[in-house]
Amino acid sequence: MILVVGGEKGGAGKSCIAQNLAVWLGLEGHDVLLLDADPQRTSYHWAQERQANAALFQLPVEHAIGDLRALLKDRATRYEHIVIDVGGADSATLRSAMTVASHILLPLRPKRRDLKTLANLELLVSLTLPVNPKVIVRTVISQAPTLPSQGARIWDAKEACKSFGLQPLDAVVFNRNIFDDADESGMSVIELGTDPKASDEIKQLAKELWSI
């Protein structure tokens, strides 16, 4: 699998999701590369924190931006899975990665400013499909409110995705403090282990995505 975790809007938790999915794959015994394709190097800096902790398994991490096609084709011969954390912008980096991806995951917060990007995400996908017709595209609602009374916002956000032909995953990633705590330590929420709900959300997301 070559998984692109991207989108047009920053702040939707793309780096967090990419990091946690990459660690989940490693913990499951898979050979995985995390590619930081964000100019801000968020995942690359997270990996540096990780490398300082000898108790954690070392996850291969690289940084690259621009046209990623040749790089990804090469790395696909070396790794079983590649997870790509792409910065929150419509860029040459995102577009090139989408053309060689097997899976594209588009995290969106259930907020109007995120959902306003759906039209352009639909366009990006429509431009990708002619050159990569087998790619699987899904959205995931991320940083969702945990209050039960806010459940309608999550449902509405999923319906908005469907209206643009973008299929949402059943899995939802909620806004939990442990994601920030794990990020600061170069860990995943599964490894930190202080919030079983967060761990279950990542596991559900990963299992659903990898079963498609």
pLDDT one-digit tens code per residue, 176-212: 999 999 999 999 999 999 999 999 999 999 999 999 8
pTM of the model: 0.96
Instruction: Round to whole Å and give the CA distance between 201 and 127.
Output: 31
Write the pLDDT tens digit of every residue in 99-137. Answer: 999 999 999 999 999 999 999 999 999 999 999 999 999
pLDDT surpassing 90 at residue 87? no
Q: Percentage of residues in the chain with pLDDT exceeding 70? A: 100
pLDDT confidence of 57, banded at 50, 70, 90?
very high
Instruction: Round to whole Å and give the CA distance between 110 and 127.
Output: 25
pLDDT at position 88 is 80
Question: How many angstroms separate the Cα of 212 from the Cα of each of 34, 42, 85, 108, 167?
Answer: 21, 28, 20, 20, 12
pLDDT confidence of 89, banded at 50, 70, 90?
confident
In 10 A of CB 111, how many CB atoms?
16
Instruction: Round to whole Å and give the CA distance between 115 and 176.
Output: 21
pLDDT surpassing 90 at residue 11? no
Instruction: Round to whole Å and give the CA distance between 33 and 18.
Output: 11
